[in-house]
């Protein structure tokens, strides 16, 4: 992960190391590794005991608390940047993945914080806490490379992130994002970069179709009646969205079963009532459909492929589940803000290290077995064995070789992605030829 020299260099650059201290950068990092081996935070006294036990360093809990400062936060942030910039990845090319340079998936997760953090990270408002955190996460499905991992306030909308990250799009990328990132400027930029997107359509979006030689607003009421009359469950139309300039897209229209529609409307009505307004008739009408848009040509991805590939985005929800249920990033108790930041950044750093381990093994094992590793199973095992990674940090190259042998032997057993009954697995979606 990092040598003692690399840790010292990062500490000097960030001001974390200014003068001789009992708690040097290596010991501090090792204590963070010890604390991150558990889902719950250790007390300052427990960290002091571990410093004495593992490093023969006598230090008070107050002395440790002083080291959780802004310089320590910057130290860990720099280590995250180094880990991201030094990612070693293996390309996974199979099926429809071959058509694209990268397949980029992005989403965010939010969690509440103690109210005293509100001046640093204000919350979303309403009934939620006055303080909240949002972690933006973006990765390339083909290589496994993490593109973005950043912390923002919970009240910062995802669409703002979409607009601020326009320059990160590369030619021939496929961008898959949730509705929260829906922005016409972003779609125009993707087209300008000669890249592609798949997105859900925002219900309030104006949609135009060509009729009698001119663009007219699509009548979703007439569309619903036609699909019901002829028993159609999925159709595709070439349409334009937005005002000026209008964006030409393929619109994939899936008609929802009545019971699913009723559940969606019930949920929407509750949300809208809580916010002080009612659902419009247009919103209710468009809610009868799952509406997906894309600029990928049909000869590359036909109509049947688009909804399936969009489901791949749910892999990122699994990542967030891992962060919360396995790494415990949302397990927070009252402490000073900089200590919590250190705890969060180290958890994210540990996530990156484990992610890189899994992603380096995934293509090799797929080539040998035709099966994909389960992210959840792999993360759970690696987290439960964080002490092994800690041993690598403390004992160097010899322990590192033992660690990789252990990884190779373990992941081949009971860490495969399981197929769910009557559902296409991620393997089948990712590697099918359309």
**E strands in 28-73:** none
Angle at 384 between CA 389 and CA 323, to 5 degrees: 95
Distance separating alpha carbons of residues 354 and 358, to the nearest angstrom: 6
CB-CB contact of 236 with 253 (8 Å): yes
CB-CB contact of 80 with 345 (8 Å): yes
Backbone angles phi, psi at 291, to 5 degrees: -115, 120
Parallel/antiparallel/unpaired status of strands 207-211 and 174-177: unpaired
The pLDDT of residue 234: 96
Query: Can you name the residues that pair with 251 across neighbouring β-strands?
Result: 237, 293
CB-CB contact of 251 with 200 (8 Å): no
Parallel/antiparallel/unpaired status of strands 234-241 and 289-294: unpaired
**E strands in 28-120:** 103-113
CA distances from 181 to 2, 108, 178, 202, 378 (A): 35, 10, 6, 10, 29
Distance separating alpha carbons of residues 304 and 65, to the nearest angstrom: 56
- Summarised one tens digit per residue, pLDDT across range 20-53 is 888 899 999 999 999 988 777 889 999 999 999 9
State whether residue 137 is helix, strand or coil: strand
The pLDDT of residue 434: 39
Backbone angles phi, psi at 349, to 5 degrees: -65, -45
Query: Can you name the residues that pair with 289 across neighbouring β-strands?
Result: 255
CB-CB contact of 265 with 278 (8 Å): no
Q: Give me 346's structure tokens.
A: 């180290």
The pLDDT of residue 173: 96
Distance separating alpha carbons of residues 342 and 66, to the nearest angstrom: 12
Q: What percent of the chain has pLDDT over 70?
A: 94
The pLDDT of residue 361: 86
CA distances from 235 to 81, 218, 292, 339 (A): 45, 14, 11, 53
The parts of the chain modelled with pLDDT lower than 50 are 433-434
Angle at 375 between CA 369 and CA 378, to 5 degrees: 80
The pLDDT of residue 31: 95
The pLDDT of residue 315: 77
The pLDDT of residue 338: 96
Q: What percent of the chain has pLDDT over 90?
A: 53
The pLDDT of residue 303: 93
pTM of the model: 0.84
| Residue reference for tokens 């057993």 | 413
């Amino acid at each position: 992960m990092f040598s003692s020299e690399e840790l010292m260099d990062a500490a000097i650059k960030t001001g974390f190391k200014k003068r001789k201290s009992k708690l040097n950068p290596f010991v501090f990092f090792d204590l963070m590794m010890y604390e991150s081996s558990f889902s719950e935070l250790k007390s300052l006294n427990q960290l002091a005991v571990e410093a004495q036990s593992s490093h023969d360093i006598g230090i008070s809990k107050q002395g440790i608390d002083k080291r959780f400062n802004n310089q320590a936060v910057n130290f860990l942030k720099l280590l995250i940047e180094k880990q991201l910039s030094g990612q070693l990845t293996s390309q996974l090319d199979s099926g429809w993945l071959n058509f694209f340079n990268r397949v980029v998936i992005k989403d965010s997760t939010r969690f509440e914080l103690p109210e005293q953090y509100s001046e640093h990270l204000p919350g979303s408002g309403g009934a939620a806490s006055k303080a909240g955190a949002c972690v933006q996460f973006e990765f390339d499905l083909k290589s496994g490379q993490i593109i973005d991992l950043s912390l923002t306030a919970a009240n910062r909308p995802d669409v703002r992130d979409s607009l601020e990250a326009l320059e990160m799009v590369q030619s021939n990328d496929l961008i898959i994002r949730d509705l929260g990132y829906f922005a016409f400027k972003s779609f125009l930029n993707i087209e300008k970069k000669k890249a592609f997107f798949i997105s859900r359509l925002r219900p309030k979006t104006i949609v135009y179709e060509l009729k009698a030689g001119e663009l007219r607003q699509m009548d979703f009421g007439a569309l619903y009646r036609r699909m019901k009359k002829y028993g159609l469950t999925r159709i595709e139309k070439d349409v334009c969205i937005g005002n000026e300039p209008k964006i030409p897209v393929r619109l994939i229209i899936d008609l929802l079963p009545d019971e699913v529609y009723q559940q969606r409307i019930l949920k929407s009505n509750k949300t809208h009532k809580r916010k002080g307004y009612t659902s419009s008739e247009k919103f209710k009408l468009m809610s009868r459909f799952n509406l997906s848009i894309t600029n990928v040509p049909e000869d590359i991805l036909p109509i049947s492929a688009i909804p399936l590939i969009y489901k791949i985005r749910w892999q990122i929800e699994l990542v967030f589940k891992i962060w919360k249920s396995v790494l415990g990033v949302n397990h927070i108790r009252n402490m000073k803000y900089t200590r919590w930041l250190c705890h969060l950044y180290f958890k994210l750093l540990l996530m990156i290290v484990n992610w890189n381990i899994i992603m380096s093994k995934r293509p090799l094992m797929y080539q040998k077995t035709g099966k994909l590793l389960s992210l959840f199973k792999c993360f759970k095992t690696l987290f439960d064995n964080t002490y092994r990674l800690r041993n690598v940090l403390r004992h160097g190259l010899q322990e590192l070789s033992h660690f990789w042998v252990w990884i190779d032997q373990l992941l081949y057993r009971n860490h495969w992605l399981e197929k769910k009954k009557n559902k296409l697995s991620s393997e089948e979606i990712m590697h099918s030829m359309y």
